[in-house]
Amino acid sequence: MLRTFQSHTVRDVQSLDGKWDFVVSDARRPPGRFDRKAPVPGCWETSVPGLVRFRGVAWYRRTFTLKKAANVLLRFGGVSHTADVFVDGKRVAHHYDAFTPWSAPIQKLSKGKHTLAVRVDNTFGDHSALHIENDYYTYGGITRPVELHLVPDVSIDRIHTTTERVGRGKWKLAVKVHLLRSSRDRGKRTVRVEIAGRAVDVATSRDTAALMLEGLAVRPWEIGKPKLYDLHVTLLDGEQPADDLVERIGFRTVQVDGRRLLVNGKPVKLVGFNRHEDHPDFGCAIPLAQMKRDLDIMQDLGANFVRTCHYPNDQRFLDLCDERGIAVWEESHARTVDLDHPKFEAQIAASTDEMLRSHVNHPSILIWGCLNECHAVKRSWVAKHARVLRQMKRFDPSRPVTYASNDWERDRGFRHADIVSWNRYDNWYGGRHSEGNVERELKRMLKWLHTTNSGGADKPVIMSEFGAGAIPGWSSAIGERWSEEYQSVALEECLRIYLNHRDVVGAAIWQFCDVRVTEAWWPHRPRCMNNKGVVDQYRRPKPSYAVVRKLMRGC
Ligand code: ADA
Q: What confidence tens digit (pLDDT) does each residue in 289-334 have?
A: 999 999 999 999 999 999 999 999 999 999 999 999 999 999 999 9
DSSP for 322-351, please give it.
HHHT-EEEEE-S-BS--TTSTTHHHHHHHH
Contact 22, 58 (CB under 8 A): yes
pLDDT confidence band for 433 (50 / 70 / 90): very low
Q: Is the pLDDT of residue 381 over 60?
A: yes
pLDDT confidence band for 185 (50 / 70 / 90): confident
Residue partners of 126: CB distance under 8 A and separation at least 6 = 342, 343
Q: Is the pLDDT of residue 371 over 60?
A: yes
In short, whether 322's Cβ falls inside 6 Å of ligand 1 is: no
In short, whether 391's Cβ falls inside 6 Å of ligand 1 is: no
Residue nearest to atom 10 of ligand 1 (CA): 135
What's the pLDDT at 13? 98
Q: Please give the number of the atom of ligand 1 that sits closest to the Cα of 136.
A: 9
CA 226, chain centre distance (Å): 20
Measure the CA–CA gap between 36 and 479, rounded to whole angstroms: 48
Contact 240, 220 (CB under 8 A): no
Contact 398, 251 (CB under 8 A): no
Measure the CA–CA gap between 71 and 59, rounded to whole angstroms: 25
Cα(468) to ligand 1 centroid in Å equals 10
Contact 49, 27 (CB under 8 A): no
What's the pLDDT at 513? 99
Q: Please give the number of the atom of ligand 1 that sits closest to the Cα of 428.
A: 13
Q: Please give the number of the atom of ligand 1 that sits closest to the Cα of 465.
A: 7
Residue nearest to atom 3 of ligand 1 (CA): 135
Cα(507) to ligand 1 centroid in Å equals 15
Q: Is the pLDDT of residue 432 over 60?
A: no
Residue nearest to atom 7 of ligand 1 (CA): 423
Q: Is the pLDDT of residue 125 over 60?
A: yes
What's the pLDDT at 283? 98
In short, whether 135's Cβ falls inside 6 Å of ligand 1 is: yes
What percent of the chain has a predicted confidence (pLDDT) above 70?
A: 99
Q: What confidence tens digit (pLDDT) does each residue in 91-113 have?
A: 999 999 999 999 999 999 999 99
Average pLDDT over residues 132-152: 98
* H or E element that contains 136: none
How far CA 445 is from CA of 201, 307, 490, in Å, comes to: 53, 22, 19
Q: What confidence tens digit (pLDDT) does each residue in 154-177 have?
A: 999 999 999 999 988 899 999 999
Q: What confidence tens digit (pLDDT) does each residue in 190-227 have?
A: 999 999 999 999 999 999 999 999 999 999 999 999 99
Q: Is the pLDDT of residue 252 over 50?
A: yes
3-state helix/strand/coil string of 43-72: CHHHHCCCCCCCCCEEEEEEEEEECCCEEE
Q: In this structure, are strands 305-308 and 270-274 parallel, antiparallel, or unpaired?
A: parallel
In short, whether 465's Cβ falls inside 6 Å of ligand 1 is: yes
Measure the CA–CA gap between 72 and 149, rounded to whole angstroms: 6
Average pLDDT over residues 63-68: 98
Average pLDDT over residues 229-240: 97
Contact 18, 40 (CB under 8 A): yes
Q: Is the pLDDT of residue 1 over 60?
A: yes
Q: Is the pLDDT of residue 117 over 70?
A: yes
Look over the chain and give the mean of its residue pLDDT values, rounded to a whole number.
96
* H or E element that contains 468: none
Based on the number of CB atoms within 10 Å of its own CB, is 36 exposed (0-12), middle (13-18) or buried (19 or more)? middle
Q: Give the HSE-up count for residue 545: Cα atoms under 13 Å, Cβ half-sphere.
A: 16
Cα(521) to ligand 1 centroid in Å equals 12
In short, whether 373's Cβ falls inside 6 Å of ligand 1 is: yes
What's the pLDDT at 429? 87
What percent of the chain has a predicted confidence (pLDDT) above 90?
A: 94
- Residue of 134, 370, 510 best suited for mutating to test ligand 1, as the one with most atoms within 8 Å of CB: 510
Q: Strand pairing partners for 83?
A: 95, 120
Based on the number of CB atoms within 10 Å of its own CB, is 447 exposed (0-12), middle (13-18) or buried (19 or more)? exposed
Q: What confidence tens digit (pLDDT) does each residue in 481-527 have?
A: 999 999 999 999 999 999 999 999 999 999 999 999 999 998 889 99
More confident residue, 133 or 169: 133
Quote the longest CA-to-CA distance of the chain: 77
Cα(135) to ligand 1 centroid in Å equals 7
